[in-house]
Amino acid sequence: MISILIFIFGVGKVYKDIKNKKDRQKQASGIMSVTEKYGSILFLIVIITRWIIGFLSGQDKKVSIIGTLFPLLIVILEVFLVEYSFGRVSTLVKLFKNQEYYRKEMGMSTKEWYGINSKEYKEELQN
């Protein structure tokens, strides 16, 4: 029930932010600071409650331990995917910002780097 309320609150907040056109960078930094402050506490509460409910419901201990550790595995996977994606995106941003530098560094011609139909190659032919 609580998760449904949190989901509804989140959707409402996103709708409100889109309607008000808030800056995404400010939103991300705010979310990250809240996550850093309260994320570990909430995660610990989730693990403890799942473990207690698993033992009280009479489930097998192995099933209870797996059920308790499953959210941890999801979080680890999510962190890995976010870090991996962030690394790729930051590399692409650097590459797009400094295309001429990397083209010269790799020793490629304008034709090889940009292609025959590119604006840069046509400008080079005119010069």
pLDDT tens string 45-60: 877 777 777 667 666 6
**Binning pLDDT at 50, 70 and 90, where does residue 1 land?**
low
List the single range of 13-22, 25-34, 76-85 with lowest mean pLDDT: 25-34
The tally of CA atoms less than 13 A away on the side-chain side of residue 74 is 9
Asked if the model's pLDDT at residue 24 lies above 70, the reply is no
pLDDT in the model for residue 55: 67
HEC letters along the chain: CHHHHHHHHHHHHHHHHHHHCCCHHHHHHHHHHHHHHHHHHHHHHHHHHHHHHHHHCCCCHHHHHHHHHHHHHHHHHHHHHHHHHHHHHHHHHHHHHCHHHHHHHHCCCHHHHHCCCCHHHHHHHHC
Q: Is the pTM of this model over 0.75?
A: no
Q: Are 20 and 37 in contact (CB under 8 A)?
A: no
| Every domain of the chain and the residues it spans | 1-50
Please indicate whether residue 119 or residue 26 has the higher confidence score (pLDDT). Answer: 119
Q: What is the pLDDT of residues 63-112, one digit of tens each?
A: 667 777 777 778 788 888 888 888 888 888 888 888 888 888 888 888 88
